[in-house]
């Protein structure tokens, strides 16, 4: 559905943010896009949504050249940004002004979500809190029913009940023909939602695997007794480790531990999965 080939990007007079990356995202998945601060997650999402431009490399969305920013590709994609300025209009006016760009927009779905988020169509957006404004954008993004939904730190600013509400709503909108990409540091908020992890580090993609494959081959938890099976470990109180799975064990993937393990030695986990795969 989305394909990058040899994509590079840098801001004027700055270091290279993305260096020759090739990556694809397909429908039916919710991707977690992870990386340390400043690794280029927002930049990548902005390139996908046409807000940033690069001449270096290729980007196709459903076979259409995404770098040309044609209506035919942009109408099937929506970005819920991390930072935003929303005009001082009522929610209903915002919906009327913007929904027209998205052919599959569902008005009823939008207002149901607005109600679920305890907002009203008569609320003036500029008078809302940051978290409430974010809810307007999340509701709008979901109601566009675009094939590609990009979200940059969507749970940032949401209160605790709203985070679980967000997870429930997202789980209900996943479908075989939709591709959702979420960039976040709040890995716990996404736990149980995402099924594929992409990690950016040093301007490169250093990890790109489905969580099914990860959980099939690796375990997460307290130290395993057999130290040879440990792939990565964190010491300290309640120390945790990533270790090869034996036939009896099945653990939930600890996204934070996986992320730390990948950053600690980018090739180690990928190689561990490959080794297991070829056995």
Ligand X SMILES: Nc1ncnc2c1ncn2[C@@H]1O[C@H](COP(=O)(O)OP(=O)(O)OP(=O)(O)O)[C@@H](O)[C@H]1O
**Measured from the CB of residue 14, what is the shortest distance to ligand X in angstroms?**
5
Tell me if 43 contacts ligand X by CB under 6 A.
yes
**Measured from the CB of residue 245, what is the shortest distance to ligand X in angstroms?**
31
Residue of 14, 122, 225, 235 interacting with ligand X (CB under 6 A): 14
Give the residue ranges of DSSP H helices in the chain.
41-48, 71-74, 91-99, 107-116, 130-143, 160-173, 187-190, 211-217, 255-264, 266-278
- CB 105 within 8 Å of CB 112: no
Tokens for 40, please give them.
């280029």
Tell me if 38 contacts ligand X by CB under 6 A.
yes
Q: Name the residue among 77, 67, 129, 137 with its Cα closest to residue 103.
A: 77
Tell me if 21 contacts ligand X by CB under 6 A.
no
Tell me if 66 contacts ligand X by CB under 6 A.
no
**Measured from the CB of residue 10, what is the shortest distance to ligand X in angstroms?**
8
Tell me if 37 contacts ligand X by CB under 6 A.
yes
Residue of 17, 125, 197, 273 interacting with ligand X (CB under 6 A): 17
Tell me if 11 contacts ligand X by CB under 6 A.
yes
Tell me if 203 contacts ligand X by CB under 6 A.
no
Tell me if 141 contacts ligand X by CB under 6 A.
no
Exposed, middle or buried, 122 (CB in 10 Å: 0-12/13-18/19+)? exposed
Tell me if 134 contacts ligand X by CB under 6 A.
no
Half-sphere exposure in the Cβ direction for 215 (13 Å, CA)? 13
Q: Tell me how many residues contact ligand X (CB under 6 A).
A: 11
Tell me if 53 contacts ligand X by CB under 6 A.
no
What's the rounded Cα separation, in Å, for the pair 148 and 73? 10
Q: Which is nearer to ligand X, 42 or 145 (CB)?
A: 42
Q: Which is nearer to ligand X, 10 or 178 (CB)?
A: 10
What's the rounded Cα separation, in Å, for the pair 6 and 22? 5
Give the residue ranges of DSSP H helices in 83-225.
91-99, 107-116, 130-143, 160-173, 187-190, 211-217
Residue of 31, 42, 91, 217 interacting with ligand X (CB under 6 A): 42
For 14-34, letters b (16+ CB in 10 Å) and e give eeebbbebebebeeebbbbbb
What's the rounded Cα separation, in Å, for the pair 81 and 39? 16
Listing DSSP states for 164-181 in one string gives HHHHHHHHHH--TT-EEE
Residue of 40, 50, 66, 81 interacting with ligand X (CB under 6 A): 40
**Measured from the CB of residue 154, what is the shortest distance to ligand X in angstroms?**
13
What are the residues facing 4 on neighbouring strands? 23, 59
**Measured from the CB of residue 197, what is the shortest distance to ligand X in angstroms?**
15
Q: Which is nearer to ligand X, 201 or 234 (CB)?
A: 201
Residue of 1, 7, 34, 39 interacting with ligand X (CB under 6 A): 39
Q: Which is nearer to ligand X, 38 or 239 (CB)?
A: 38
Tell me if 225 contacts ligand X by CB under 6 A.
no
Contacting positions for ligand X (CB under 6 A): 11, 14, 17, 35, 37-43
């Amino acid at each position: 559905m989305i394909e990058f080939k040899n994509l590079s990007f840098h801001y004027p007079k700055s270091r290279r943010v993305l260096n020759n990356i090739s990556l694809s995202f397909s429908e039916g998945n919710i991707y977690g896009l992870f990386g340390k601060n400043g690794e280029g997650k927002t930049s990548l999402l902005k390139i996908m949504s046409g807000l940033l431009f690069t001449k270096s490399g290729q980007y196709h969305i459903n076979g259409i050249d995404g770098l040309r920013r044609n209506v035919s590709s942009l109408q099937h994609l929506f970005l819920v940004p991390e930072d935003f300025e929303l005009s001082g209009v009522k929610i209903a006016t915002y919906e009327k002004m913007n929904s027209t760009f998205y052919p599959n927009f569902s008005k009823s779905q939008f207002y149901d979500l607005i109600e679920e988020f305890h907002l009203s169509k008569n609320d003036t957006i500029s008078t809302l809190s940051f978290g409430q404004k974010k809810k307007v954008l999340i509701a709008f993004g979901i109601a566009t029913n675009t094939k590609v939904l990009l979200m940059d730190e969507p749970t940032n600013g949401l209160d605790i009940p709203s985070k679980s509400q967000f997870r429930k709503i997202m789980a209900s909108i996943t479908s075989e023909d939709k591709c959702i990409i979420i960039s976040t540091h709040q890995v716990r908020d996404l736990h149980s939602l995402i099924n594929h992890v992409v990690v950016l580090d040093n301007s490169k993609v250093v990890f790109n695997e489905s969580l099914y494959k990860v959980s099939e081959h690796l375990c997460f938890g307290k130290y395993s007794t057999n130290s040879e099976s440990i792939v990565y470990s964190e010491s300290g109180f309640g120390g945790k480790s990533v270790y090869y799975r034996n036939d009896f064990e099945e653990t939930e993937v600890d996204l934070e531990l996986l992320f730390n393990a990948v950053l600690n030695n980018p090739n180690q986990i990928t190689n561990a999965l490959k080794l297991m795969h070829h056995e």
